[in-house]
Amino acid sequence: MVPMDQKDEVKSKVDIVEVISSYLPLKKSGRNFSGLCPFHTEKTPSFMVSAERQVFKCFGCGESGDVFTFLEKMEGWEFREALEDLAKRVGVRLTTFAPSAQSKEKDKILAVNSLTAKFYSHILNKHPLGEKAREYLVGRGVKEETWREYDLGYAPSGWQNAFDFLVKRGFSGADVAASGLVIARRSRGAQDDGSFYDRFRNRLVFPLKDAKGTILGFSARIIDEAQNNEPKYVNSPETLVFNKGSLLFGLDVAKSTIRSKNEALLVEGEFDVISSHQAGIENVVASKGTALTEKQVVLVSRICENVALCFDRDLAGDAAARRGIELLDMAGVIVKIVRLGQFKDPDEFVKSNPEGFKKAINSAENIYDFYIESALSRFDGATAEGKKKIGGEVLPMFSKISDDMVRAHYIEKLSRVLDLDISLVAQAVEKRMPDQYVAADKLVPGREPVFGKSGLTLEKYFLALLVYGDNLKQDDLALLAADDFTDGSAKDFFSWLHDIISASKKGSGKSSSQKVSNRQKSLKNLLSKLPGDLDGFVDDLFLVSISPALADRELWMSELKKVADRIKHISLKKKLGELSRDIKLAESHADNKKAAILSRKFDELSKTLKGGLVNG
């Protein structure tokens, strides 16, 4: 058991925004951060992170929690594994905490990978069995100094070369199997027979490393024409340390150049990287496919602000590539496209015409210019049908541009090339843009109004507005009464807030003029006294996406009054319904005096309701 003070120490030193940002791109959204939820598939960001409360919540699927919960869900860890990882990040030594079994297993896999890479490297560089692999590399124009820089190796033919080597070095069959380097043999009954064979045989091996150079897995390519019936590339399976979508091949070699140039050249395959690097283009990494993942985007966005994409296929029609481009844009990265021209891939281009390839990189065009030109080359922008097809292809991309000025630039350009009024194009883009912030006018009226799929009621939105700024006045709470709330938690929090502000005012012992200025209370100080049973409810309030424009107190107060008026309107209608039932009950019992009193109350509330805005 970990002492609570150590858990709290780790949590106090960790920034949840920084931790989550290492898994997916986050964009500033008001006082919070937003991104695409890693726990379910979505096109519009509904995943919110609060730096103030150090919590996250997806308003699409409902997943929520603190930094420990996030790591447990993302990594499939138990609590103590998440604690151990975070403690390492912030330099806290856990005095009563032994490494978990999974942590020990990871260290063992890394040791197996490291030793295996040395084994494959030795075969390639010094053993007679590596001769044909050396000839293959030379035939592709790869120099020995280059393949050594990337630690390439060769897995020779044979069923148990790597397995036998590792077992002789003291690793068990289970240790080797956990690394994914071997496959369990199956008997005719499809049952494991307890023996293993090497996953990689007669293949050129590329170690797959993180940015620090730690080997997490391997990719292996056929080098023999007789292997054409086999997959060209085979990767390590997912293990405790390896996930293909979490790595960029060559990043350990290229990161310093990427950082100094503030730009990465992103290609698809290992040979694209090796050939480019050998030609003097040293800021190159490979994504091993066009479908960039959140983690790959995070890796590259941490060290540069510009990415030039040079992929083998047409990106305009590649939905997976478009999603990656959206992620790069969300991470604040400027994306450009390098055109391959007549060449099938960067490897062929750079070997055939290295100077031409460098020129193509230097003249790379912005991704959105590329999308417009690509659409114009395929559809007739002079016809109504052509305009429709071009708009259908590029407008959804424009609606995802996170920077307002950049979006406006491309709206203007598209309207010019299609000879359309700029306002029409702007409206078409706006229709495709997701609602980023909550507003009273967007909340759906009804018995319990909610905003979109988030389940945000008017009552919760009112309270979210209250906690939006750091300062509160007692007059702000006077807009409603506790009995106007129907949600139990909302009513409890409002009552608590009202009571604690009233108590702090009464307990002030200051002069009248001092009391007036003291009416504005620090919300941060107040919430430090929040009862534990309201913590989760208040966390959700902080995660509501409220427009930064409401930082202006006049606009904030206008919105607050608007929401309070709608809540009061619903409350009054409910009270009138109750009074109507009570009046009928009194009349049925011939209690005329009670019926008259209730009727007067009914008339008073009716006048209030008909009077328009309650707080206007």
How many residues are given for the chain? 616
pTM over 0.75: no
**Minimum mean pLDDT range among 51-65, 93-107, 241-255, 309-323:** 309-323
Model confidence pLDDT, tens digit, residues 468-479:
876 777 778 888
> CA quadruple 446, 451, 457, 462: dihedral positive or negative?
negative
Please name the amino acid found at residue 314: D
Instruction: Give CA–CA dist 183/122, Å, rounded.
Output: 23
**pLDDT given for residue 188 in this prediction:** 57
**pLDDT given for residue 308 in this prediction:** 95
- Please, which residues bridge with residue 47 across strands? 35, 58
**pLDDT given for residue 514 in this prediction:** 43
Instruction: Give CA–CA dist 434/438, Å, rounded.
Output: 11
pLDDT band, residue 435 (cuts 50/70/90) = low
Query: Higher pLDDT residue, 520 or 383?
Result: 383
Please name the amino acid found at residue 384: A
**pLDDT given for residue 349 in this prediction:** 95
**pLDDT given for residue 518 in this prediction:** 41
**pLDDT given for residue 449 in this prediction:** 40
Q: 454 and 46 in contact (C-beta within 8 Å)?
A: yes
Please name the amino acid found at residue 521: K
Strands (E), 395-510: 450-451, 456-457, 471-472
Instruction: Give CA–CA dist 290/276, Å, rounded.
Output: 18
Instruction: Give CA–CA dist 55/181, Å, rounded.
Output: 39
Tell me the mean pLDDT in the region 91-103: 76
Judge whether residue 444 has pLDDT over 80.
no
pLDDT band, residue 337 (cuts 50/70/90) = very high
> 3-class DSSP state for residue 219?
strand
Instruction: Give CA–CA dist 326/331, Å, rounded.
Output: 9
Model confidence pLDDT, tens digit, residues 181-194:
999 887 555 555 56
Instruction: Give CA–CA dist 348/330, Å, rounded.
Output: 32
Model confidence pLDDT, tens digit, residues 122-164:
999 999 999 999 999 999 999 999 999 999 999 999 999 999 9
Judge whether residue 614 has pLDDT over 70.
no
Model confidence pLDDT, tens digit, residues 349-359:
999 999 999 99
**pLDDT given for residue 93 in this prediction:** 84
Tell me the mean pLDDT in the region 238-260: 94
Instruction: Give CA–CA dist 254/209, Å, rounded.
Output: 12
Judge whether residue 445 has pLDDT over 50.
no
**pLDDT given for residue 317 in this prediction:** 54
Judge whether residue 447 has pLDDT over 50.
no
CA distances 523 to 472, 543, 544, 553, 592, Å, are 7, 16, 17, 15, 49
Residue 516, burial from CB neighbour count under 10 angstroms (0-12, 13-18, 19+): exposed
pLDDT band, residue 279 (cuts 50/70/90) = very high
**pLDDT given for residue 356 in this prediction:** 96
Tell me the mean pLDDT in the region 389-402: 88
Model confidence pLDDT, tens digit, residues 58-67:
988 889 999 9
> 3-class DSSP state for residue 202?
coil
Judge whether residue 220 has pLDDT over 80.
yes
Model confidence pLDDT, tens digit, residues 1-26:
455 578 888 999 999 999 999 888 88
Phi, psi of 271 (to 5 degrees): -70, -25
> 3-class DSSP state for residue 516?
helix
**pLDDT given for residue 189 in this prediction:** 53
**Residues 6 or more apart whose Cβ sits within 8 Å of residue 402:** 27, 329, 330, 332
Tell me the mean pLDDT in the region 243-263: 94
Judge whether residue 383 has pLDDT over 50.
yes
Tell me the mean pLDDT in the region 281-306: 90
Judge whether residue 234 has pLDDT over 80.
yes
**pLDDT given for residue 98 in this prediction:** 66
Per-chain mean pLDDT for the chain: 85
**pLDDT given for residue 168 in this prediction:** 95
